[in-house]
Homo-oligomer: A and B are copies of this chain.
């Protein structure tokens, strides 16, 4: 194994070396903040070469935006911080005693380590469902969802058997959290607006969209009145919201749901998974190597300063961190928490080098927003609760504000502006399959 020239240079100088693993919101905001402290040498390691604006990934899955619209090259974002190095590689292990991480092609030494590798979706022990009910975490996931959604309409258009056609026009979204609500709303928009003039044999407005949630209301972290308003908006878009429903089986043709001890099997060709997340593999490495304690979802239980108990030089930020020192319940896995944690840890590292400390991390909650279709949303801004068009407008501006690069911001804003009037969805490409219309191939994993 070789050590990188970059690392050698760092070691030669006396400056403090920070290694950040993961270029999501947590890692990126840590890197950007550390970039301002020129005496700290930061290396950001990610297996992808771009930061993904995950809150808008459902818009890629439903053909409204292109992957490039919500992605920014990490190198471009960080290029003007000359003390920050980006390394495209995959971290395989951590060696806390040697103060180094093992990547695919060598080792990288650190003085302080920040782990921000996030979560992936999770099938609660039914991992075989992954093939028939894709989740939504990566660009590739979104393209796979997009392919399945638009292919379903194409196959339905050609199907002459009414029952089979019905199954192709039935979409089931599993999970009534923000992602599930946003996916179901976007599907409603597609079926009732964007696609309504595009087919000749089917009427896309007859599409059945089912949103399944296990507890008694959708958007459970929101106040009940906003959950009710969200459900109403969804129904207005043709989405059937079904709560207290548990998925007990998924095949390539059906979804089986249990509700009040009744079991129903629904013929449906397209099932989208938005039901659960699990910590990324780094949490197990932290448990094995650094003695970290994990919660049920595999997240790392952290100290009030976001360090791993017993490891003052290792921090965990973002979705991977279980931070329960505020309001006695873990902070939600949302972008603002990750951004604030990343920036906090960066400042703490800088303070410690000056022999100072910072008060414990405190999440400043600006509110939560979930969008339902083209011009409705719910916003929980503390005492102010909004829904409908005003909430949607806030949602649009908040998201544009945070889209990291100026060009992305501008493009996405114009795309939205145009979509709002045209409702066409220009990015609904079916890609990545040589023979996209052979229904017998639909079951298997398609590259």
Contacts and interface: CB of A to CB of B under 8 A. Distances in A.
18 contacts: A2-B160, A4-B160, A5-B160, A6-B200, A49-B429, A66-B427, A67-B427, A71-B429, A73-B428, A76-B425, A88-B154, A106-B158, A405-B424, A407-B418, A410-B414, A411-B414, A411-B415, A414-B414
A427 B68 contact: yes
Copies in the complex: 2
Interface in A1-59: 2, 4-6, 47-50
Given A66-B66, A408-B426, A47 B5 contact: no
A432 B106 CA distance: 24
A125 to B, nearest CB: 23
Interface in A391-447: 405-408, 410-411, 414-415, 418-419, 422, 424-432, 435-438, 447
A50 B411 contact: no
A157 B428 CA distance: 35
A201 interface: yes
Interface stretch (A79-87, A245-253, A333-341, A366-374): A79-87
A105 B272 CA distance: 26
A197 interface: yes
A139 B431 CA distance: 8
A422 B415 CA distance: 20
A187 interface: no
Given A66-B67, A426-B405, A436 B80 contact: no
Among A87, A88, A201, A405, max chain B CB count under 10 A is at A88
A275 to B, nearest CB: 23
Given A4-B158, A73-B426, A414-B414, 4 more contacts: A85-B200, A88-B158, A104-B435, A411-B418
A1 to B, nearest CB: 12
A47 B436 contact: yes
